[in-house]
Chains A and B, each alone.
Chain A
Amino acid sequence: MDVVMLARLQFAVTTVYHFFFVPLTLGLSVLVAILETMYVRTGDETYKKMTKFWGKLFLINFAMGVVTGIVQEFQFGMNWSEYSRFMGDIFGAPLAIEALLAFYLESVFIGIWIFGWDRISKRLHATVMWLVAIGSNISALWILVANSFMQQPVGYVLRNGRAEMDSFFALLGNGHVWVQWPHVFFSAVATAGFFVVGISAWHLLRGSDRLGIFSRSFRIGVVYAAVGIVLAMLVGHNQAQYMTRIQPMKMAAAEALWDSEDPAAMSLFTIGNERERRDVFAVKVPGLLSFLAHNSFSGEVRGINDLQEEAVRIHGPGDYVPPVAVSYWAFRIMIGAGMLMLLLALYGVWKARSGVPTARWYLRASVWAIALPYIANSTGWIFTEIGRQPWIVFGLQKTVDAVSLSVSGGEVVFSLVAFTLVYGILMAAGVVLLRKYATEGVPGDSAAPAAVGAV
């Protein structure tokens, strides 16, 4: 493997791993803030117990998100120095703003939230949790401002051999930001919803709910999950239509659409030959892709071969086709996981109108469904970043030209192995702790042993 592939692999490993923790932080911070606000407004101690229970799990997850985020701040310089030189004028600004506006907010106030239960008033304590939630979600906004430029460069001029910022507000007003950020946010809401529902279901299956904490959590969680997944899918549909306009090649790869079609059929299942760019076996629904792209059963959707020719005309000779199989399957796994979430959440909301659903198959399915958002979040990012290849900044800089010149393959192998090992150990420790505190329940609950340890 050459140094570019190694650096890409390391970026993939560290980023997918980091994003394992981020969505739960984004979604659960808001939910814990809501629960604590309910406690302050009603004075109902059950809400306080819920806040503390979910807050504890939130903190374990939050710590993992924070420490893996440190790597993200530096690795553009470490492994992608030529990218940093070419893009720093634009890309550095949202990153610095993210730190100033969001990282300080969440990091300072999370300290107050953990340690301040009896140092500040109840109302102020709940406000502090809202500040943590706002900080986390603002941080997501700014990193997506940066990522959106990589998908759709706006507000820049090419000058002095690099991309220089021409309009800060164009960067912030980039249409891509405003389809991407809502999609990430609502996916995060769904992630937190399914997390809460799954763990609550686990306790309900064991009958450990004397205090009513888990039945109440279940009902709140299932509504949260449903709102999240419905909106994530609606916004995601918008985002896909947007992508068809600005990155048609990515959509063509997602659909394994070799040639332009009008009306275009949607592939349900394709086994293709990527080198010869043809289907080996495919099941397709006629006209559906046109409908998804244009809200009409006719209308051209452009295929890989046409787009490749066009790219050669604009950018010169080269291969402008992203890895089709990875794009196609990542996209389908994301959507498949999303569909399953949608069904489970809607059924749950329907049943939860009058109490908690008691069907054991549904509660068991809910426990397993904790994994679904994680699958969708990871494959979604793999798709959006792989589908942009060979570009690192769409149309401006190729990934092969972005890698650090002074870092050798051996050094990347060392860091890749080291990060993977340490991340693996931390994942094991994090899962052990999450399991312990998730299954331990709440002090005073029938099947729960007395709580030990901190918080």
Chain B
Amino acid sequence: MDLNTLWFALIGVLFVGFFFLEGFDYGVGILHPFIARTDTERRVVVNTIGPVWDGNEVWMITAGGAMFAAFPHWYATLFSGFYLALVLMLLALIVRGVAFEFRSKMESPVWRAVWDWAIFVGSFVPALLWGVALANLIRGVPIDGTMTYVGGFFNLLNPYALIGGLASLAIFTLHGATFLTLKTGGGMDERARALASKLWYPAAFLLLAFVVATYWMTDVHERLGVDPGVVPAVAVMALVGCRWTITNRRDGWSFVLTAVAIVFATVTVFIALFPRVMVSSLDPEWSLTIYNAASSPYTLKVMSIVAGLLVPVVLVYQGWTYWVFRQRITPQSELHY
């Protein structure tokens, strides 16, 4: 495996980690007005992700940094091309992050209601837009011979990308619900399970629709053949199995299975992309690949050494935080947010 492939894989891993972790953060943010009935319960829900959301979000920041370092043209074309979509996502993430910290620091119900809305919208928008963005990566967007995006904002809102966006929105929301069945108490875990049971239908339907649409609307079947291979199959089967675990109250397994579905669906997108990083809908020759978009061999080597040294350390201490905060949160817990 050459360094270009390694960095493609590493960026894939960063997105996998990001969607797995921030996926439930987004889900919790979307669900908190529906699961909680009182202010204390809303605080409980927010506190389940309180200690971890910021560290989870760094997976996205790092993915952005890694794209810049390893594939500068990918970074340049993607973020200038998807400009307005990215602005919307950034605005959402800005108000959401502040909302977690600010919401419970004033007694005023109006103040808290405003930040609750910020948490909801700030989680909803990125959960939708990430699916739109990834779907557009594999579907292809108008990119000319100088690697410049020549479409507009509405080019991104095609039916295929919208299915992708709705699918990511539904799956992250379900993932948040299975997370909350594990992390809350005092009746909220029951409500979270009941919601998960309902949310399973749109999530399963949209994931299936996305798989079908991917065959129909992209070049995946030409490139990978009719047999999708084991990876997408695992994603679909995990979500199917989740129906059984939710019904039978196997909450730990439900969370594992929504996580597996997210991880394998993300891997599928990266397999479908490889070795391209952005597909040009104008001319296949103009697609950005892991070679024409890459940094120099020297930079890739330096960054490989740095990543090899640092990534394991990060995984260890981030894992440790989940151990420290493994307990369920209930209205009787000390609530810091």
In the complex, residue of chain A having the shortest beta-carbon distance to the beta carbon of B104: A454
Verify if A395 is at the interface (C-beta below 8 Å from B): no
Stretch of A35-43, A97-105, A203-211, A286-294 that contacts chain B: A97-105
Verify if A150 is at the interface (C-beta below 8 Å from B): no
Verify if A67 is at the interface (C-beta below 8 Å from B): yes
Cross-interface CB contact of B98 among A64, A168, A437, cutoff 8 Å: A64
Q: Assess the A70–B90 pair: CB atoms within 8 A.
A: yes
Verify if B298 is at the interface (C-beta below 8 Å from A): yes
Verify if B233 is at the interface (C-beta below 8 Å from A): no
In the complex, residue of chain A having the shortest beta-carbon distance to the beta carbon of B311: A100
Cross-interface CB contact of A84 among B47, B68, B86, cutoff 8 Å: B68
Q: Assess the A107–B55 pair: CB atoms within 8 A.
A: yes
Verify if A78 is at the interface (C-beta below 8 Å from B): yes
Q: Assess the A112–B86 pair: CB atoms within 8 A.
A: no
- Given A433-B102, A454-B104, A112:B321 Cβ within 8 A: yes
Verify if A276 is at the interface (C-beta below 8 Å from B): no
Verify if A5 is at the interface (C-beta below 8 Å from B): no
Verify if A66 is at the interface (C-beta below 8 Å from B): yes
Q: Assess the A59–B101 pair: CB atoms within 8 A.
A: yes
Q: How far is the CA of A115 from the CA of B149 in the complex (A)?
A: 44
Cross-interface CB contact of A89 among B53, B95, B150, B295, cutoff 8 Å: B295
Chain B residues within an 8 Å CB radius of A454: 104-105, 335-337
- Given A103-B62, A454-B335, A88:B102 Cβ within 8 A: no
Chain A residues within an 8 Å CB radius of B101: 59-60, 62-63
Q: Assess the B80–A79 pair: CB atoms within 8 A.
A: yes
Q: Assess the B105–A164 pair: CB atoms within 8 A.
A: no
Verify if A323 is at the interface (C-beta below 8 Å from B): no
Verify if A281 is at the interface (C-beta below 8 Å from B): no
Q: Assess the B324–A70 pair: CB atoms within 8 A.
A: no
Q: Nearest-CB distance from B265 to chain A (Å)? A: 24
Majority SS of interface residues in chain A?
Answer: helix
- Given A60-B101, A165-B302, A96:B80 Cβ within 8 A: no
Q: How many A-B residue pairs have CB under 8 A?
A: 238
Chain A, range 401-426, C-beta contacts under 8 Å to B: 404-407, 411, 414-415, 418-419, 422, 426
Q: Nearest-CB distance from B297 to chain A (Å)? A: 9
Q: Assess the A77–B66 pair: CB atoms within 8 A.
A: no
Number of residues from A at the complex interface, CB < 8 A? 77
Q: Nearest-CB distance from A63 to chain B (Å)? A: 4
Q: Assess the A407–B83 pair: CB atoms within 8 A.
A: yes
Q: Assess the A78–B86 pair: CB atoms within 8 A.
A: yes
Stretch of A116-124, A246-254, A299-307 that contacts chain B: A116-124
Verify if B34 is at the interface (C-beta below 8 Å from A): no
Q: Assess the B75–A84 pair: CB atoms within 8 A.
A: yes
Verify if B106 is at the interface (C-beta below 8 Å from A): yes
Chain B residues within an 8 Å CB radius of A71: 90, 94
Q: Assess the B299–A81 pair: CB atoms within 8 A.
A: no
Q: Assess the B79–A81 pair: CB atoms within 8 A.
A: yes
Q: Nearest-CB distance from A446 to chain B (Å)? A: 22
- Given A116-B51, A453-B106, A418:B91 Cβ within 8 A: yes
Majority SS of interface residues in chain B?
Answer: helix
Interface size range of chain B in the complex: 35 or more
- Given A78-B79, A88-B69, A92-B75, A422:B91 Cβ within 8 A: yes
Chain B, range 75-92, C-beta contacts under 8 Å to A: 75-81, 83-84, 86-87, 90-91
Verify if A130 is at the interface (C-beta below 8 Å from B): no
In the complex, residue of chain B having the shortest beta-carbon distance to the beta carbon of A432: B106
Chain A residues within an 8 Å CB radius of B311: 100
In the complex, residue of chain A having the shortest beta-carbon distance to the beta carbon of B305: A168
Verify if B107 is at the interface (C-beta below 8 Å from A): yes
Q: Assess the B83–A92 pair: CB atoms within 8 A.
A: no
Q: Assess the B65–A92 pair: CB atoms within 8 A.
A: yes
- Given A104-B62, A415-B83, A405:B148 Cβ within 8 A: yes
Verify if B310 is at the interface (C-beta below 8 Å from A): yes
Q: Nearest-CB distance from B68 to chain A (Å)? A: 3
Chain A residues within an 8 Å CB radius of B104: 453-454
Verify if A73 is at the interface (C-beta below 8 Å from B): yes
Q: Nearest-CB distance from A414 to chain B (Å)? A: 7
Q: Assess the B69–A96 pair: CB atoms within 8 A.
A: yes
Chain B residues within an 8 Å CB radius of A407: 80, 83
Cross-interface CB contact of B325 among A82, A119, A168, A419, cutoff 8 Å: A119
Verify if B57 is at the interface (C-beta below 8 Å from A): yes
Verify if B2 is at the interface (C-beta below 8 Å from A): no
Q: Assess the B318–A85 pair: CB atoms within 8 A.
A: no
- Given A70-B61, A77-B75, A88-B75, A100:B80 Cβ within 8 A: no
Q: How far is the CA of A35 from the CA of B95 in the complex (A)?
A: 31
Verify if A336 is at the interface (C-beta below 8 Å from B): no
Cross-interface CB contact of B87 among A85, A405, A414, cutoff 8 Å: A414
Q: How far is the CA of A102 from the CA of B310 in the complex (A)?
A: 10
Q: Assess the B91–A111 pair: CB atoms within 8 A.
A: no
Q: Assess the A96–B68 pair: CB atoms within 8 A.
A: yes
Chain A residues within an 8 Å CB radius of B295: 88-89, 92, 164-165
In the complex, residue of chain A having the shortest beta-carbon distance to the beta carbon of B315: A104
Q: How far is the CA of A453 from the CA of B111 in the complex (A)?
A: 13
- Given A108-B318, A114-B336, A165:B79 Cβ within 8 A: no
13 A–B contacts from the bound complex (CB under 8 Å)? A63-B97, A70-B90, A88-B75, A92-B72, A99-B65, A100-B311, A104-B318, A115-B47, A160-B296, A165-B302, A405-B148, A454-B337, A455-B336
B residues adjacent to A (C-beta < 8 A): 47, 50-55, 57-58, 61-62, 64-70, 72-73, 75-81, 83-84, 86-87, 90-91, 93-95, 97-98, 100-102, 104-107, 146-150, 153, 295-296, 298-299, 302-303, 306-307, 310-311, 314, 317-318, 321, 324-325, 334-337
